[in-house]
A and B are shown apart, each in its own frame.
Chain A
Amino acid sequence: MNITLEIQRYNPETDGEPRYQTFDVTVDPTDRVLDALMEISRNQDGTLVFRKSCAHGVCGSDAMRINGKERLACKTLVQDVAEADGATVRIEPLRHLPVQRDLMVDQSEFFARFRAVKPFFIAGSEVDEKEYRQSPEERALFDDATKCINCSACYSACPVLEKNPKFLGPAAIVQAARFVFDSRDKGLEARLGILDTPNGVWPCENHFECTRVCPREIKITKLINLTKREIKKYREARGEQTAEPKEDTQ
C-alpha cells in the first residue's frame, strides 16, 4: 500500500523552528512504522534521523508520537495507524524532553530521574543460602515493574508533567516500585528522600495516560498508587506525616 508520512523535522543547528515534511512510501500493511522510516532514511532522504535498535519492542530506542499517541515505531504496524491506501500518518518526537534533531530527544533528564530513585537492589538481609528465597507469589508482586524498558513514552504522555515539569514522572516511580515490592529489597527508606517529596509520587492525578501508552503494557498508574499506599503505611507505622500536599489529600 502507499502511505504518506508527515514527519516533524527540526535541526536546532540550522532551523529556526520545527516544520513538517511529507514522504510517500510504498509499504506492506504488516510492515512496522520503523520499516517505513528506514525506507525513507536509506532510500529517499539520508538527513532524516531517529533512534532504533532491536526492532521488536524490547530495547526502548524508538518511542515517538505516531498520530498523536506515544508508541514504539518498531512495535506499531502500518495497518495499526493507516486505515487505507493513501492514508497519512503523522510522526513527531516525544514531548517533555528537548528535541536534539528530528525524532531524537535528549533523555538526560529522564535518566537523571531514573537514577535518583536508586534503581538498584538494596539488600535487606544476608543471603539465605546460595540464593535469596522468594516464593512465586512474592516474585509475582513486582513482575509488572520489571518490564520497563526506559523508552520514555509514559514521560511524554503524562499530563501532570505538562503543568509541573518537576514531577518525578511515571517511569522513575515504576523503577522504584520494582524494588519496593521485591521481598528481598529493603530500600524503601533510602528511596523516600525522592519518592516522598512534593514532586515525588504525590503529584500523580490518575489520568492513566501512562498506562494507556505503555508499549510494555505495564499498569503504571496502579503501581504509582500502590507505591503511594506503601509510603503512607510506612509513615503511619512510625507516626509520621507523608509529604503529600494537604489540599490534594482525599
Chain B
Amino acid sequence: MTHEFDAVIVGAGGAGLYAALEASKTARTAVVSKLYPTRSHTGAAQGGIGAALGNVDEDNPEWHAFDTVKGGDYLVDQNAARILADEAVQAVYDLENRGLPFSRTPEGKIDQRRFGGHTRNFGEAPVHRSCYAADRTGNMILQTLYQQCIKNDVHFFDEFHVVEVIMDGTRAAGIVTFELATGEIHVFKAKAIMFATGGFGRMFKITSNAHANTGDGPALLARAGIPLEDMEFYQFHPTGIRGMGILITEGVRGEGGILKNRSGERFMERYAPTLLDLAPRDMVSRAIMTEIQEGRGMRGDRQIDDWVMLDASHLGREKVYAKIPDIADFCKTYLAVDPAEQPMPVQPTAHYAMGGIPTNVDGQVCTADTVYEGLYAAGECACVSVHGANRLGTNSLVDLIVFGRRAGKHIAEFVRHAPQPTLPADAGKAARERIATLKKTRGAHPGPLYKQMQDIMMSKVGVYRNEPQMKEAVAEINALRQEFANVRVQDGSENYNQEVLGILELENLLDLSLVTAATALNRTESRGGHSREDYPERDDANWLKHSMATLRGGDVAIGYKAVDTSIWEPKPRTY
C-alpha cells in the first residue's frame, strides 16, 4: 500500500510530536511510530528541561550556552548552542502555556532546580536552571505534546516500523515501513521526511534506554550511504540502578544527594572540587569507574559491575517524596530500598548518544558540502551538534523542543513550494523480499546475538576505552553481523510478528555498534564521553573536529567536519 503526504515524521517522541505540530500548520502531516502514542522514551526523562528563566537564581541564556559548550568539551558547534539556550526560554513558556504542569515556586512561577554542569557566570557555582515537573518532566512533555496533537488532528500511524528511506539522489522521496498488525509493507511518499527515532542505548548491556531504542533512523540512513556524525561519543549516566541500568535522575544530586564509596567518602571532592557531585556526567561516571577500579566500590573487587552509593537520606522524607517521588518508587520496587532512609546502589548506565544524523540548525540533514533536500532529523537520533563530546543534563529535552520545533517550521515552509517526488516503480519490493527470506532461512535463532553484542559493547566500548579492546570489539561485532545474515524467524505469522520486528531492530543495533566501535577506535584522544586509557589527554591540534562515518559493508570510512568555535576559545576543562 502507498500513502501520500506532504510531510512524514518518523517517531512520536518529543522531537517528532513538536515537529508534527508545527508542520501540520501548512502540511498534510503523518506521524509514523513503531510504538503506541505516549510510549516513546521521551516519557522516561525525569529531572527537567534547562532554560535560563531566572525564576530562582539570576540567570542568562549566554551562561547556559557557555555551559553547554564547555560541558561538551568544546566539540559543540557554538552558534547552535546559542540558539539552543536562547530559544529554550520561550520553548518552556510555550509548553507551560499549553498546559504542561511544571512544579511551582512559592510565588507561583515555574520552579527550577540545580543540575550537573549548569553554572552561574561561566562556571562560578551551580545555578537553578532546570525547569521540572517533579521527576517526570519528560512524561509531562510527551503528554502535553500528544494532547496538542489530538487537539490539532495530527494523523498517526501507530506500530509502523520504518525499514528503508527512499532517496532520489540527495533528495528524500519516501520511506518504507513494516506494519506490525498485518505484516504488510507500506510505502509513504512525501515532500519532506523527518527522522525523530531516538537513541540506541540497547546496544549496551546496562542501559537506561527502552527496548525500543534501537537507532532505527541513523541505521537505515547509514545503510543508504549517509554519513553519521560523532558516533564515538556515547554518554554513560553516572547513576543507574545497579544491575538494571534504570535511570536515577541527576535531579537527586541537584536536590542535594551525595555519591559515596565503600568507606563512606564523598569522593567527588577529589575529582571536581567546585561542582562536586554536580560535575558533568562524563566526569562523574569516570570518577565512579576509577573508584571501582581502585578497589573502593562497594564490593571492592575492581570488577566493572561493582557499584557505589548515592545517598539522599539526609534530605528528609518530605523532600524525597515531593521532589523525586518516582525515584523513590523505582528504588522500592526494584531494590527494596527506601531512599528517604537508605542510600541507593548505583553504577554508570548507557544513556545518550551525542552523535547521530548530521543536521544544521533547521533540522536539515547535511554534511560539510551537501544538504539533503527534504530530509530532516531532530532529537537524540540527530547531531546538530549541541552536545559535542558530552551532553549536559536537561539539554536532551531542550534539544527535542528547540530543534523539533525548528525542523517542523522549516518543513512547513519547504512543502509549500516543493513538488511531490516520484518513487521508483518497485518501492517496497526489497523489504517484502527481505521479510520473506527471513522466514525461509534455516539459520540460528537470533536470541543469543543480542546478548553477545551488548556484552561486547559494554565491556570493550564503555566508559574507559583502549585500542586492543576496541579492535577486538570491531572484529567481534563484524563477526556477529556475519552470523546475523543467516538468522531465522521461527514465527511464520503475518499478524503481530514481534520476532520480525526484533530482528530488524537487532540489525540496526549491530550496524550502529560497528560504527560506534570503529569511530571510537579511530579517535586517538580523550574528550568528553570518549575516554581513552592509551590517549588520556584532549588533543585540540589534531582532534578538534567532528567525525563523519560512512558505513561500507564491513568497513567504516571516516572523514571530518570542522567545529564552530566562533564564540569561545577552547580551554582546559575543570570544574
Contact = CB atoms under 8 A, between A and B. Distances in A.
A14 B490 contact: no
Interface in A54-105: 54-61, 75, 77, 100-102, 104
Given A11-B495, A43-B448, A101-B496, A182 B101 contact: yes
A115 B43 CA distance: 19
B43 A54 contact: yes
A250 interface: no
B151 interface: yes
A103 to B, nearest CB: 10
A56 B99 contact: no
Contacts of B40: 59
Nearest to B38: A150
Contact of B150 (A75, A100, A115, A184): A115
Contact of A58 (B97, B134, B136, B502): B136
Contact of A120 (B104, B133, B150, B446): B150
A11 B498 CA distance: 13
Given A53-B35, A53-B210, A55-B210, A131 B93 contact: yes
A22 interface: no
A88 to B, nearest CB: 23
B489 to A, nearest CB: 7
Given A77-B334, A146-B133, A45 B490 contact: yes
B343 to A, nearest CB: 18
Contacts of B44: 54, 56, 58-59
A54 B497 CA distance: 20
Nearest to B212: A53
A60 B445 contact: no
Given A46-B499, A47-B499, A60-B38, A127 B97 contact: yes
A131 B54 CA distance: 13
A143 interface: yes
Contacts of B450: 42
A43 B53 CA distance: 51
A50 interface: yes
Interface residues on A, range: 35 or more
A121 B147 contact: yes
A46 B210 contact: no
B140 interface: yes
Contacts of A100: 181, 495-496
Interface residues of B, number: 64
Nearest to B491: A47
B103 A139 contact: yes
Interface stretch (B105-113, B228-236, B522-530, B531-539): B105-113
Classify the secondary structure of A's interface with B.
Answer: loop
Contact of A41 (B102, B108, B498): B498
Interface in A118-145: 118-121, 123, 127, 130-136, 138-139, 142-143
B205 to A, nearest CB: 13
B334 A30 contact: yes
Interface string B108-127: 11100000000000000000
A52 interface: yes
B99 A111 contact: no
Contacts of B147: 119-121
Contacts of A11: 493, 495
A115 B93 CA distance: 25
A213 to B, nearest CB: 15
A196 B282 CA distance: 53
Nearest to B498: A49
A149 interface: yes
A104 B236 CA distance: 33
Contacts, number: 159
Contacts of A47: 490-491, 493, 499
Interface in B483-525: 489-491, 493-499, 502
A120 B148 CA distance: 6
B99 A57 contact: no
A45 B148 CA distance: 40
A149 B496 contact: no
Given A61-B35, A146-B140, A13 B96 contact: no
A67 B115 CA distance: 42
B151 A120 contact: yes
A135 B99 contact: no
Interface string A3-21: 0000000011110000000
Classify the secondary structure of B's interface with A.
Answer: loop
Interface in B9-65: 35-41, 43-44, 53
B237 to A, nearest CB: 14
B370 interface: no
Nearest to B492: A47
Contacts of A52: 211
A56 B247 CA distance: 9
A197 interface: no
B150 A46 contact: no
A130 B134 CA distance: 21
B36 A41 contact: no
A31 B410 CA distance: 46
B35 A136 contact: no
Contacts of B448: 43
Interface in A15-42: 30, 41-42
Contacts of A149: 38, 43, 139
Interface string B143-181: 110011011000000000000000000000000000001
A54 B199 CA distance: 12
A244 interface: no
Contacts of A133: 107-109
B96 A131 contact: yes
B318 to A, nearest CB: 13
B543 interface: no
Contact of B490 (A46, A55, A61, A179): A46
A207 B397 CA distance: 40
B245 to A, nearest CB: 9
B14 to A, nearest CB: 14
Interface of B: 35-41, 43-44, 53, 93, 96-99, 101-110, 133-134, 136, 139-140, 143-144, 147-148, 150-151, 181, 210-212, 244, 246-247, 326, 329-330, 333-334, 445-448, 450, 489-491, 493-499, 502
23 contacts: A47-B491, A53-B41, A53-B211, A56-B244, A57-B330, A58-B139, A59-B38, A59-B39, A59-B40, A61-B39, A77-B333, A77-B334, A100-B496, A115-B150, A118-B151, A121-B99, A121-B147, A123-B97, A136-B106, A139-B101, A150-B37, A182-B99, A217-B329
**Ranked 6 nearest A-B pairs via Cβ:** A121-B99, A42-B447, A46-B490, A133-B108, A120-B147, A46-B499
Given A45-B490, A46-B445, A185-B99, 5 more contacts: A53-B210, A107-B36, A127-B97, A133-B109, A142-B101
